[in-house]
Amino acid sequence: MQNFPVVLINTVLSPLSFLLLIVFVSHGALLGEAIQGGFIMSMFSAGVGLQGDLSHLKNDFKLQDMVVSSPTRWHTYMFGMAISEIVYSLPALIVLVILGYYFMRLNAFGLAAFVGVLLLMFLTSIAIGFTLSTFSTDIVQSFAFSRLVSTLFSTIPPVYYPITYIPLPYRYLAYLSPTTYAAELSQSFAGYLTLSFSATVVDWVVLIAVTVALFVLAGTKARWREV
């Protein structure tokens, strides 16, 4: 970020541009939901962005070869690199925290649950980013995968607005994305969306199950030692 300050602009504009669009279109009625969507998109994009960095280090600097030959395990390497993605996303997160403080309606329990949802989203996305990076052979290919995954999971699904805005039967297609469940839970914590107890349980189970499944996939299918 010091060498190329333009990345700061890109990091901040990605979630905030959709936030502003939703706020303008809804005349401010969906401000809280849009801020929560910005958080979800930032955390998910940070994890998926891991793919580009890992691919660059693997293919251009052969760092993964050195890590593989050391006692370092794949999950240690992945989580260590994931921390750098959080640092990279701090400018956007700081802006969202300030906006959330003034405009989001969360009590202590809701805030803790919302942080838990964001953590699951981040874990899900870094598992996706790590797995794809081990298959990628070029940094350009990695950027294409990263943009595609981010669009499919954090732009198209109802992350910035309630799912009730999507007419049936198209609404069911939104549930193919784990970010839909994250948004539903987040909006229910703030009182923007009413969820039954059973629906809340289902959303948590789906998010946890998807996260675990993706880590199992990363541990068994990622090309860690074949590069």
Distance CA 56, CA 187 (A): 36
8 has a pLDDT exceeding 80: no
Return the closest-CA partner of residue 19 out of 77, 100, 87.
100
Position 140 scores a pLDDT of 72
Write down the pTM of the prediction.
Answer: 0.88
Placement of tokens 């039954």 in the chain: 196
- CA–CA distance, 66 with 81 (Å, rounded to integer): 15
Instruction: Give the list of residues 6+ apart from residue 212 with CB closer than 8 angstroms, or none.
Output: none
Query: Where would I find the H helices in the chain?
Result: 6-25, 31-59, 63-68, 74-103, 108-135, 139-154, 171-174, 178-189, 197-221
**Does a structural domain hold residue 74?**
yes
Per-residue pLDDT averaged across 187-211, rounded? Answer: 95
Decide if 116 is inside a domain: yes
Q: What string of H, E and C letters represents the secondary structure of 1-42? A: CCCCCHHHHHHHHHHHHHHHHHHHHCCCCCHHHHHHHHHHHH
Which comes out higher in pLDDT, residue 204 or 21? 204
In a domain, 60, yes or no: yes
In this structure, what token pair is assigned to residue 164? 């009730």
Tell me how many domains the chain contains.
Answer: 1
Does any domain span residue 181?
A: yes
Q: What is the pLDDT of residue 59?
A: 76
The band of 78, judged by pLDDT with boundaries at 50, 70 and 90, is confident
Considering the domain boundaries, does residue 189 fall inside one?
Answer: yes
Taking residues 157-162, what's their average pLDDT? 92
User: Would 1 be classed as within a structural domain?
Assistant: no
Radius of gyration of the chain (CA): 18
In a domain, 44, yes or no: yes
Domain interval for residue 188? 6-221
Q: What is the percent of the chain where pLDDT is above 90?
A: 43
pLDDT confidence of residue 149: 85
What's the gap between Cα 201 and its chain centre?
A: 21
Q: Summarize pLDDT for 161-193 with one digit per residue, the tens.
A: 999 999 988 889 999 999 999 999 999 999 999
Is residue 227 assigned to a domain?
no
Convert the pLDDT of each residue in 20-37 to its tens digit: 888 888 888 999 999 999
Please give the average per-residue pLDDT across 69-96, as a whole number. Answer: 86
Where residue 227 falls among pLDDT bands split at 50, 70, 90?
very low
